[in-house]
Amino acid sequence: MNSDFFFHKSGEPVSRRQVLRCGTLAAAALLLGKRLGFASPLAANATPPQAKAKAVIQIWLWGGPSHLDMFDPKPDAGYDYCGPLNKPIQTNVDGIQISELMPELAKQADKYSLIRSMTHGSNAHETAAYIVQTGHADGDRLVYPSMGAVVSLLKGYEAGYNGLVPPYIVLTGPQGRFSEAGFLGPRYKPFATGGDPNKQPFAVQGIVAEGISSRRQGERRELLHQLDTLGGALKGDPRLVEFAHSEETAYDMILGDGAKIFDLSTEVAGTREWYGANTFGQSCLIARRLIERGVRFVTINAKGWDTHKQNFQAMRKLVPEVDKGVSALLQDLAARGLLDSTIVWCGGEFGRTPKVQWEAPWNGGRGHWGKVFSTLIAGGGFRGGQVVGASDAHGEEVKERPVYPWDLLGSMYEQLGIDPNGTFPRVADGNAHLTQVVTGDIKSGGRLKEIM
């Protein structure tokens, strides 16, 4: 790949001249997610892992969900740790208990595994989000791309992806606080839908506009063609032919099959209620529809998990939504034969302080906790019904089998048939590895072979 499309940590491109040369037609193609024929930026690997998965759904609980209140309950730790959520429920897998607020996921534990020993030690949102989503420790001279950007590159553009929508989608707004594309540049940023899938219509940015009917869109297009005197004067010009092709694709997104992906009115009766009549549940349903149509990486950016104050009130609202939406998603993917080829990854940048902060102004809140937290992983070749690692009796430290973000992402890359030790050979003035190199003070618990 032309190195001009790679970026330094400052965010500035290596060369502006080549980017500007792309012109209007190339920009349109980039926005539409079309491949421009660049060579792969990853070093060649003679023996890539065998792919078990084709796509990923990342359920990002932005802000840091409490591990004790969800996937790693500690009923014996006492009220100062559990608060009112001290009655975990048994799942359909013997020996695995989860929060009492997740009865639907309790019925699906055979489909997922829980990692209860995630760790990186950072309590800062920006740093922790970067570490978890890139699989790299902070402090490097480069800003590495998120897993979504890497998958959209290697399993999207480089694999000949030609879907109507880009291969990397985020519902509904970007995660923020770090650059998802990193040094890969803006071409690999996710397409953020905007809007709210719980509303009709789902006003997807650039595709569906509230108050503008399909008929009016068609009339606007007809008027545009009537005003296009240049196109009539230069018929057959290859540049205009390419531009017309991009326009055709864009309108197919707006008026054709692209728009249908986001139209939930076509779902079978009862499906929307099954997922949950809220933004999170409907995002899970949209994610399934996107995966069905070949999208490679979908992030559901679920906010509200930074529960410094009144944590338990927030949990009683947020956790049931996750319970309903994720359990429906797992069942639906399995019924459609998609779970085996789709990784479902649910978690946040860190956990919350195990000991509840009852004093004012927190009033039962939980702070940031990067020492140990939990993640759910399902599908894509990962075995369900398992627990990896453990925290101590109070959920404060890793007790056994630490799992670092580069261990998790490296394992997911392997399931996708991507070599996690591969390198980006033309990044500024040196090489960069796909996941963190374990050396010096950097620790690793190894790949998740117990569930792969």
User: pTM to 2 decimals?
Assistant: 0.84
Q: How far apart are CA 174 and CA 148, in angstroms?
A: 12
Structure tokens at 192: 């953020």
> How is the chain split into domains, by residue range?
52-201+266-451, 209-261
Q: What is the pLDDT of residue 215?
A: 74
In the chain, DSSP finds a helix count (H) and a strand count (E) of 14, 16
Distance CA 9, CA 42 (A): 19
Please tell me the distance from the alpha carbon of residue 263 to that of residue 272, in angstroms, as a whole number.
12
Cα–Cα distances (Å) from 253 to 249, 258, 403, in that order, read 6, 4, 41
Task: Give the model confidence (pLDDT) of 389-420 as tens digits.
Answer: 999 999 999 999 999 999 999 999 999 999 99
Which among 110, 106, 61, 72 is positioned nearest to 382, based on CA atoms? 110
Bridge partners for 302 per DSSP: 61
The pLDDT, as a whole number, for residue 192 is 93
Domain spanning 52-201+266-451, CATH architecture: 3-Layer(aba) Sandwich (3.40)
pLDDT at 9: 37
Structure confidence by residue, pLDDT tens digits, 254-292: 556 667 888 899 898 899 999 999 999 999 999 999 999
Q: What is the pLDDT of residue 425?
A: 62
Are 356 and 364 a contacting pair, CB within 8 Å? yes
CA distances to 195, 234, 239, 286 from 230, rounded to whole Å, are: 35, 6, 12, 40
Rg of the chain on CA atoms, in Å:
23
The label of the residue with tokens 């973000």 reads 405
CB 276 within 8 A of CB 149: no
DSSP-assigned states of every residue in 367-433: -EE-SSEEEEEESTT--SSEEE-EE-TTSSSEEE--B-HHHHHHHHHHHTT--TT-EEEEETTEEEE
Contact call for residues 106 and 92 (beta carbons, < 8 A): yes
Taking 70 as the pLDDT cut, the residues of the chain under it are 1-47, 206-214, 217, 221, 225, 231, 244-258, 425-430
Q: Is 148 within 8 Å of 417 (Cβ atoms)?
A: no
Per-residue pLDDT at 247? 64
Q: Do 290 and 168 touch, CB atoms closer than 8 A?
A: no
Q: Region of 336 please: left (phi>0), alpha (psi -120 to 50) or beta.
A: alpha
Instruction: Please spell the DSSP secondary structure of 62-75, one letter per residue.
Output: TT---STTTTS--T
From residue 102, give the alpha-carbon distance in Å to each of 68, 220, 240, 311, 423: 13, 48, 55, 16, 40
